Structure formats: structure tokens, C-alpha cells
Amino acid sequence: MATQQKYSDPKIDGDLQTVSYVANDNGEQELTPGSIWDPVHTVNEQAWREIEKQVESSQRKIAAGKRSPLHYYMTVNQMNAALLARYTGQSSWRVRLHLLPFFFKKMARKTLKNYADFFKISVEDLQDGRLRPPLYAHHER
């Protein structure tokens, strides 16, 4: 019989159960009880894997000189230029320009500080391209 890990917490879901088909060791389908939260856990794991791929892609783009460090911080915080613009009080076209290394290097210190304060990092980390781990990395998924 196939082994199945239980992800539910009886305090949360009252030990609600579902029944689903699972392939056993012989490849045959059999009915198996499971937690109501198993699909949610699976979807969350898939989403986190996708976010991690996007973060790795961002790091490669920065290393190749195609994007500024601002791109990394936007990616780990799951933001786009329009959202960051709203939070920092700028136009989205300016934020998009700041994603390009040429414009990022010419950015005023006040603007750098605005971004750094928003992302809770130092101006020097942002300016020098030190990519700090995201705040959520300290929490277990």
C-alpha cells in the first residue's frame, strides 16, 4: 500500500477527511483516506517552487548585468513595477527604468533610500547589489 504523509492538524480541521484514489506499489488505483488540507498543501508547495525559480532567474539576470538589484527585491516580495511604484510614490515608468543597471547607477540617494527603507535593507546593500535573503526565508513552510 502507498504511504501517505498527513499534513492536517486536528486542532484546525477537526480531522476532516477526504477519500481519493492513489496508485499503490503495483500501480493499481485504490481508495485512500486523506486530509482535507492535502490539496491546499500541494498547491502551496507548487507556488513556492515557482517563486524560488523566479528568484533564481532574477539573481542570474543581475549577475549578467541585465537587471539592477531592485529587480531581486521586487521578485522576492512578489511585486511588479506598478505595485512598487504605488508603495514608493513614484510612477511605474520610473520604477521600470530603475530596474535597468544604467539608470539604477545614476539614481539619487534619496530614491535609493526610499527603496531601501521600503524593503527594510540598507542603502549600501541595495546600491552595492548585496542580495539579502527575503524576510519570509526565516519562516518554515
User: Which tens digit of pLDDT belongs to each residue from 5-53?
Assistant: 444 445 445 555 666 667 788 888 877 766 655 677 788 889 989 999 9
CA dihedral 40, 46, 47, 49 (to 10 degrees): 150
Q: What is the CATH number of the domain that holds 46?
A: 1.10.260
**pLDDT on residue 139:** 47
Residue 134: inside a domain: no
Residue 8 is predicted with a pLDDT of: 46
Provide mean pLDDT across the span 125-135.
89
- What is the domain count for the chain? 1
Residue 54 forms part of a structural domain: yes
pLDDT at 88 over 80: yes
Give pLDDT, residue 122. 94
Question: CA dihedral in degrees (49, 53, 55, 59; nearest 10)?
Answer: 150
Give the pLDDT band (50/70/90) at residue 4.
Answer: very low
Give pLDDT, residue 138.
52
Convert the pLDDT of each residue in 97-118 to its tens digit. Answer: 999 999 999 999 999 999 999 9
Q: Which amino acid is at 74?
A: M
The pLDDT value recorded for residue 39 is 72
In a domain, 17, yes or no: no
Q: Which three cell numbers stand for residue 18?
A: 477526504
Does a structural domain hold residue 124? yes
Reported as type and span, the H/E element at residue 116 is: helix 109-119
What is the residue range of 78's domain? 41-129
pLDDT at 37: 58
